[in-house]
Amino acid sequence: MLSRTADHLYWMSRYTERAENTARMLDVSYQMSLLPQSDQAATAAWRAMLEISELSEDFATKYSAVTPANVLSFMTQDMDNPSSIMQCLRAARENARAVRGAMTTDLWETVNTTWLDAQRQVGQGLLKIAPTAFFEWVKFRSHQTRGVHIGTMMRDEVYHFIALGTFVERADNIARLLDVKFLAAKEHTGDTLAHVEEFYFWAAILRSLSAFENYRKVYRNVITPERVAELLILRWQNPRSLAACLVQVVDLLHKVRNSQSGATELEARSILAELRDLEIHEILERGVHEYLTAFIARISVLSANISHNFLLPLEPESDLTA
Amino acid sequence: MSAQPPMASPTGFDELLMHAHAGDNYLSGPVRAHYQMISQWLREADVDTLRARREEAELLFRRVGITFAVYGDDDGTERTIPFDIVPRIFPAKEWETLQKGLRQRVQALNCFLHDVYHQQHILKTNILAPEQILQNTQYRPEMQGIDVPLDIYAHIAGIDIVRATHGDEEGAFFVLEDNLRVPSGVSYMIENRKMMMRLFPELFAKHRIAPVEHYPDLLLDTLTQMAPSEKRYSNVVVLTPGVYNSAYFEHAFLAQQMGVELVEGQDLFVEDDVVYMRTTQGPRQVDVIYRRVDDDFLDPEAFREDSTLGPAGLMRAYCAGNVTICNAVGTGIADDKSIYPHVPDMIRFYLSEEPILYNVPTYSCRDPKALSHVLANLADLVVKEVHGAGGYGMLIGPTASKNEIEAFRQQLKANPANYIAQPTLALSTCPTFVGAGVAPRHIDLRPFVLSGQEIRLVSGGLTRVALKEGSLIVNSSQGGGTKDTWILE
């Protein structure tokens, strides 16, 4: 497959996954903002949304105050924000369009229709009337895109690079979400958190990652931060855990390996091995924030190496002789 | 030495009606046999239903992404080409004549290209003056003496055909233009058929319509035949200028349908006169390039230095015989409008046959006698730039204002050799669905001719229609639409 084709496919699925995760995070923030809480806590939660995506500065250049309406608008439909849901859906579609011949008609039409329908919905003001409905819709379009990918595509390099984009992006997004939420839990709630509030706080995070029922199934017990962390970081059986993402990344890198990707594959294996060896109390002792910061940095290096090994044009000299 | 202009001007022809009638209702007159069924269907159909179907077609085209970017539009709006739901129909016998004429014409044009780039026999006759070729910007000296597989240059030709009544001959076929560089539109031929089958399956049950969807198969076979060396598997690629090109959909469509890679210039490189593409598994040799990039942009080393649309060194690889470029470099010398008037003589010269298809009577303004006639009759003529395309850079005398005509007169005088003139041809009309119902609109036809070991074409083509009442301009950039084209079996 052409390196450029692989690049477009990889980014198509990264943007699709990013749109979905942003919708998930906004949805949980929006729903939590409807619960009784102090103004300070509410503002902090919205500010945290921006921090997750490292967008606080960009936001500040356009908006004067962190209000729910401003953050929602910036994160969903602002075309100046390269990480807004609409920009992600557009970028996914543009990447798909650049290599539409490489995928099944079903997959192309799904990605294209998502973008066309999203424009229509935003045009009709759905975001203002029913933001939750819009976030749900984004999430389900992402499910559908993934389903069409799995259900129609040949199991070849094209398939693998699309999947690779999904899991690299998901690992990054989940780590960022957990980082911000655990920091928020520490700073703004701390030990004074009443049991009921704590329940809603952690339940909302689980729901935002479709892991509430999974939690109940695994632990059959009250919701505690330790168990939430374990389920979302270490439990590879939970498809939206860091470990589950890394299992996929390792497998996919093995399938697409070329003459220069050995070190990248090894690094992915090493990240996964650590996730397998660690116990949750070790992570808590080290500090969740410290652990996740290091994890996000490693994923970022891994991602750069994937680009270098497969996606950027290979140097002719280095390979003709190989 | 100049082309032989003016026989009597051809007159109007309606595809559906036996003869024009004065009644208000277009569909009420006597109808040609092959339009009986459609005419009845149109009379019975309810306007709202037809309108709903047309809107459905527009939505489907958007979902499939059959759109094109408009040059100079920064906001990235993509447009669809309007699709007309009334098909254009040929009976088998008419198509038989047309395709014979097309084969003959394309064969002669390929002979001409081979001759121009080798022995130049034709320049020793009185058909063409040597300077008409050798000083033409479309002539590529780089190609002189270069052998190409099977001596074929124009592997894919899109010949624009219009119909008009010529003397006693009703609806005679005229060639308006030969497109031998990077003709586009074939994807619309296929997508329009798919759309019609989806919207009106009942019509297909009632007619026996020749299929067109196997075109990509014939194209791939033609391209594979052009591989420079016998291999078990030849690597054919489609070269596109990229996603912002107005024909990008077609490039992606053809690559996908043929199951070959769609490449951009940046995906290719040349080493030791061999072309490679960059893949996730390292470089891979390329054997045949179906290029949808103009000659000028193919190779910054040989042509325009600032081009990034083709890899540096491509011409070296091509001349060394390590890769085949389709269509060949330099085909523009055969479809240039200044060469067009001489195609009938080429057919006589190379094939010793009489041309089956007519040329539109044409004045070459480089000829002083023709020029003075053209200047005296600007208001009645269509004047075109010899290298122009897309309906730009032309004057349509009968619809132009006095000022426009005077402005054009100055341009023409300044550089007469840059222009040709033709009588305004009454393009045939065909029933077309417009806001209020069905009305006649002017159409043309672009069939696609593939030349390899044999000359092949699918039974069909792209019918373009001028949607504005009375308009003769069918180009999509200027308000034209398209129709499905039916060849009845």
Q: What is the pLDDT of residue B4?
A: 43
Nearest to A136 by CA among A74, A192, A210: A210
Helix (DSSP H) and strand (DSSP E) numbers for chain B: 13, 23
What is the arithmetic mean of pLDDT over B374-388?
87
Task: Tell me which chain A residue has its CA closest to the CA of residue B251.
Answer: A101
**A contact set with B (CB within 8 A):** 1-6, 94, 97-102, 105, 108-109, 112-113, 116, 157, 161, 256, 258-259, 310-311, 313-314, 316, 319-320, 322
Q: What percent of chain B has pLDDT over 90?
A: 66
Q: Which residues of B touch A94 (CB under 8 A)?
A: 243
Measure in Å the smallest separation between the Cα of B272 and chain A Cα atoms.
Answer: 11
Tell whether the model's pLDDT for residue B392 goes beyond 70. Answer: no
Tell whether the model's pLDDT for residue B8 goes beyond 60. Answer: no
CB contact under 8 A, A1 and B253: no
CB contact under 8 A, A4 and B252: no
Q: Mean pLDDT over all residues of chain B?
A: 90
Q: What is the pLDDT of residue A319?
A: 41
CB contact under 8 A, B281 and A258: yes
What is the arithmetic mean of pLDDT over B327-350?
95
Q: What is the pLDDT of residue B209?
A: 95
CB contact under 8 A, A161 and B280: yes
Q: Which residues of A touch B265 (CB under 8 A)?
A: none
* Of the candidate ranges A108-117, B366-375, B446-455, the one whose mean pLDDT is the lowest: B366-375
* Of the candidate ranges A165-174, A186-195, B176-185, B451-460, the one whose mean pLDDT is the lowest: A186-195
Query: Which of A125-134, A186-195, B370-379 holds the top average pLDDT?
Result: B370-379
ipTM of the complex: 0.78
Residue A283's pLDDT band (cuts 50, 70, 90): very high
Measure in Å the smallest separation between the Cα of A79 and chain B Cα atoms.
Answer: 12
CB contact under 8 A, B279 and A256: no
Task: Tell me which chain B residue has its CA closest to the CA of residue A117.
Answer: B63
Q: Which residues of B touch A322 (CB under 8 A)?
A: 282
What is the arithmetic mean of pLDDT over A25-50?
81
Tell whether the model's pLDDT for residue B443 goes beyond 70. Answer: yes
CB contact under 8 A, B278 and A310: no
Q: Is the pTM of this model over 0.95?
A: no
A20-23 LR contacts (CB < 8 Å, sep 24+): A20/A138, A20/A139, A20/A142, A21/A169, A21/A170, A21/A173, A21/A174, A21/A177, A22/A53, A22/A75, A22/A76, A22/A83, A22/A84, A22/A85, A22/A88, A23/A85, A23/A134, A23/A135, A23/A136, A23/A138, A23/A139, A23/A142
Residue B472's pLDDT band (cuts 50, 70, 90): confident
Tell whether the model's pLDDT for residue B391 goes beyond 80. Answer: no
Tell whether the model's pLDDT for residue B232 goes beyond 80. Answer: no
Tell whether the model's pLDDT for residue A39 goes beyond 80. Answer: no
Q: What is the pLDDT of residue A166?
A: 98
Q: What is the pLDDT of residue B5?
A: 42
CB contact under 8 A, B278 and A116: no
Measure CB to CB from residue A319 to each of B64, B262, B282 and give the nearest one: B282
Tell whether the model's pLDDT for residue B474 goes beyond 60. Answer: yes
Tell whether the model's pLDDT for residue A314 goes beyond 50. Answer: no
What is the DSSP pairing of strand B274-279 with strand B282-285?
A: antiparallel
> Which sign does the torsion angle of CA A71, A75, A80, A86 carry?
negative
Q: What is the pLDDT of residue B374?
A: 92
Measure in Å the smallest separation between the Cα of A10 and chain B Cα atoms.
Answer: 12
Nearest to B434 by CA among B404, B463, B470: B470
CB contact under 8 A, B266 and A258: no
What is the arithmetic mean of pLDDT over B466-476?
85
Q: What is the pLDDT of residue B390?
A: 57
Measure in Å the smallest separation between the Cα of A103 and chain B Cα atoms.
Answer: 8
Tell whether the model's pLDDT for residue B7 goes beyond 60. Answer: no
pLDDT in tens, B275-304: 999 999 889 999 999 999 999 999 999 999
- On whether the CB atoms of residues A2 and B267 are closer than 8 A, the answer is yes
